[in-house]
Chain A
Amino acid sequence: EPEVTQTPSHQVTQMGQEVILRCVPISNHLYFYWYRQILGQKVEFLVSFYNNEISEKSEIFDDQFSVERPDGSNFTLKIRSTKLEDSAMYFCASRASIGREQYFGPGTRLTVT
């Protein structure tokens, strides 16, 4: 069964450093998403991406965040200058068509020290 994959599973970085989180969505899916979940809190929408551009973003997704689909398979989230409060699980998700169900990857745990 096709699934969303994410790398790395755990990333430790120092405050102020740039990180890139990688995702490989399900191959025939067209819509891609990033979410974050701070420990003990709810899943928060960050951004949606379709047709090589951002469709919607939340207030959390400020100028330090960016997304890219550098090739036909990868979807990345870059955090330019990490802060302590960026420590969270980051989930990638994809869906085949708009409005339909999303499938989540296993997540990347980001720890900023």
Chain B
Amino acid sequence: QKEVEQNSGPLSVPEGAIASLNCTYSDRGSQSFFWYRQYSGKSPELIMFIYSNGDKEDGRFTAQLNKASQYVSLLIRDSQPSDSATYLCAVNMGTGGFKTIFGAGTRLFVKA
């Protein structure tokens, strides 16, 4: 079983719509969860982090965490063409948090 799994996409949404990105992870002891955005040829850029079950909102972004289901999601409201990128889910494995595993990423296209 892969440690962090994401649908590779591409996910295509029209401008102004909500984009929903999902991620599952295998290690039940994981405590910290992150969403990064990566444009082609660039480094990962932190979008959101979440440590507790429930929702966390920051501007147009909402992260959702369900530790019982080992599931993390990212919602992007009012999607813009500039949101077109690959979104990476990252999980700190175990309680120590010294090892961070990334999913393969979901490519998002926002059509103008």
Contacts and interface: CB of A to CB of B under 8 A. Distances in A.
Interface of A: 31, 33, 35, 41-45, 48, 50, 55-56, 58, 89, 91, 98-107
Contacts of A106: 42-43
Interface stretch (B20-28, B52-60, B73-81, B98-106): B98-106
A100 B49 CA distance: 8
Interface in B55-112: 88, 90, 92, 96-105
A101 B88 contact: no
Nearest to A101: B49
Given A56-B98, A99-B51, A91 B43 contact: yes
Contacts, number: 60
Interface of B: 31-32, 34, 36, 38, 42-46, 49, 51, 88, 90, 92, 96-105
Contact of B102 (A45, A89, A103): A45
A103 B98 contact: no
A8 B103 CA distance: 27
B27 to A, nearest CB: 13
Return the 10 tightest CB-CB contacts between A and B, nearest first: A99-B97, A56-B98, A55-B98, A43-B102, A42-B104, A48-B98, A104-B43, A56-B99, A101-B49, A99-B32
Contacts of A100: 32, 49
Nearest to B51: A99
Given A55-B96, A99-B97, A100-B32, A91 B102 contact: no
Nearest to A104: B43
25 contacts: A35-B102, A41-B104, A42-B88, A42-B102, A42-B104, A42-B105, A43-B44, A43-B90, A44-B102, A45-B100, A45-B102, A50-B98, A91-B44, A98-B96, A99-B32, A99-B51, A99-B92, A99-B97, A100-B32, A101-B32, A102-B46, A102-B100, A104-B44, A106-B42, A106-B43
